[in-house]
A = this chain, B = another copy of it.
Amino acid sequence: MTRKIEIVEVGPRDGLQNDPAMMSTDTKIEFVERLIAAGVRRMEAASFVHPKLVPAMADSDDVMQRVPRQDGVKYIGLALNERGMRRALEAGCDEVNYVMVASPGFGLKNQNATPDETADLFDRIAILAHDEGVPVSVTVSVAFGDPFDGEVDPAVVAQLAGRARAAGAVEFAMGDTIGVADPWKVRKTLDLVRAQSGDMRLRMHFHNTRNTAMANIYAAVEAGVDVIDASVGGIGGCPFAPAATGNVATEDVVYMLERGGFDTGLDLGKLIETAKWLETDGLKHPVDSALSRAGAFPAPAR
């Protein structure tokens, strides 16, 4: 039987939050509709952080009101504190994602919190989602390396996985926020995390900043991970590496996995069309994916 790999599309949230194009709400809805047409059934669509910090996500309530509710599509909203969690729940998100940090350097700069403090806060606000019956997931940022502190100890990530599970997270995502992971460290981290994760699902979030995202995904899939984050066109960079590639591109991941015999449920041609639409209409600037440049294979060459 064909193994299914779920790709969580993060383009409409992680992909857009730092993009200089400041996509309009109307265009975001069109983006979401294009993604659904390409087969996406789970996506990050909104972020309930302070609009002064992330102006591109200021319309998240409005976006959540207008996204199509069909075909079993699930929308994930991001929340980093109690106020965000309440807003995400009120906005009707199907799932709320919370971010822990794996290292204090990045944590203090980005969320003004140490790893333990981000786990403590999750204990308190996860309850709000539980009360509403809404699933919560956790992403741990800088899980493989911190731009200020350097290497991250996989044992810390595993400890956070234990905390996330204890607080009732349904899923735990390891985020390579600055794109430094290698597949050997991915495996080592997964080995340690599994000892703490029980039946909590595992998910991987890789940036291709140093061209290792696809190798990391391959390593994770071989290690049994069934859920992978990606963004169409690879949109969404890291402010700490402005010249570099950000999220791994959905179409690249789909190409590799489908060729490897996995079922992603996504339509490669429509993903490539969506990447091209981002360039011409959605964002009006180039995006970075290999498949949108090279095209699929086998392709008619004669």
Q: Which residues of A contact B (CB under 8 A)?
A: 145, 147-148, 150-151, 178-180, 182-185, 208-212, 214-215, 217-219, 240-241, 243-245, 248-249, 252, 255-256, 259-261, 289-291, 293-295, 297-299, 301-302
On whether the beta carbons of A182 and B290 are closer than 8 Å, the reply is no
Number of copies: 2
- Majority SS at the chain A contact face: loop
Which residues of B sit under 8 angstroms from A179, Cβ to Cβ? 294
On whether the beta carbons of A260 and B209 are closer than 8 Å, the reply is no
Task: Give Cα A245–Cα B297 distance, bound, in whole angstroms.
Answer: 15
Name which of A184, A208, A248 has the most chain B CB atoms within 10 A of its CB.
A184
Closest Cβ of chain B to A198, distance in Å, is 28
- Return the chain B residue nearest A248 by Cβ: B211
Which residues of B sit under 8 angstroms from A210, Cβ to Cβ? 252, 255-256, 290-291, 294, 297
Quick one: which of B150, B218, B261 contacts A219, CB cutoff 8 A? Answer: B218
Asked, given contacts A185-B259, A218-B218, A294-B179, whether A211 binds B208 with beta carbons under 8 Å apart, the answer is yes
On whether the beta carbons of B259 and A301 are closer than 8 Å, the reply is no
On whether the beta carbons of A212 and B150 are closer than 8 Å, the reply is no
Task: Give Cα A295–Cα B294 distance, bound, in whole angstroms.
Answer: 25
Task: Give Cα A243–Cα B295 distance, bound, in whole angstroms.
Answer: 10
Quick one: which of B219, B291, B298 contacts A151, CB cutoff 8 A? Answer: B298
